[in-house]
Structure 1
Amino acid sequence: DILVSLSESYIGANKIEVAMDAFKASVEVDPNNQHFRYNYGVLLLNADRYEEAEEQFTKALEIDSEYENAIYNLGVTYVKWGAQLNLDAEEQGIISEDYKQKYELALPYLERVVVLDPTNGQMWEILGKVYGVLGMTEEAGNAFDKADQLR
């Protein structure tokens, strides 16, 4: 796909905003193209624009509910968003549990990824951390054990 190649070239040349603009325009022209939405979502996620990334991955999954990369990245979006909320609260000296809501949102997507790809050790590791944050100690232990077996 020409647009994907072009955007990868922009990314390689550190022209992220140009690539983002190209995918945003593509999504506007063809809003039912899950690949455009996914790629735009990846760029937004890498720019820490979590709410916008969430929207793009969600729309991609509305178009194709089995789109594994979108499932994965929506889960990762929630994890990174939650981690950022927690960091922001810590920097402000605030004790907040709000970040856990994002981890809860991540859980079904992360669990789905390990069902689709049970040999993904990195995802088992992330899943273990999310379980741990949510106080699901038995599940966390099992996920970490699985990650260790796959290393």
Structure 2
Amino acid sequence: MVLWAIRRIGGFRPPPLHAHDVVGRRVDEVIRYFGTYGMGSPGFFALGLEHDWLVVSLWGAADWLRLEGRLLSEIVEDELTSFLVGRTITALNVDRASMNIGFGNGTTLIIDDDSSTRVPWPGTGKPRALAPDEDLRDGVFLCPTEELWTGD
């Protein structure tokens, strides 16, 4: 399972995310390696929005997400910060297997439906894709804390 669905994040049960929950909010911080499983990070992606975190809970999210056509894993920290920090979220759309976040500077952060746009899994070389029973809408949510544990 590549998506750490809400049901697997301890007792934390965020409500479903809607565009109006984040549109108009300013990005204060960007973290590429959000969350912990006790021995490291699952590499979730998160945007700090004042007192909340907008979390994309995919293992190795930087190899799923594209910013301006480039994988996040290929963008250095300073450049990523300059694209996103201080920007206002202008749009959010999350579907079963894709996502699009728009920002006031015209920048777009996406997860494309097409798994060929993602880095293949190391070792197997298989495409990064959600399992048929996974839904990205279950794994993109607002979290009130940086202390997000992903264990069962």
TM above 0.5, yes or no, is no
Query: What's the TM-score once normalised by structure 1's chain length?
Result: 0.22
- Report which of the two structures shows the higher radius of gyration computed on alpha carbons: 1
Q: Which has the higher contact order (CA 8 A, sep 6+)?
A: 2
Write 1 or 2 for the structure with the bigger share of strand.
2
Q: Larger helix proportion, structure 1 or 2?
A: 1
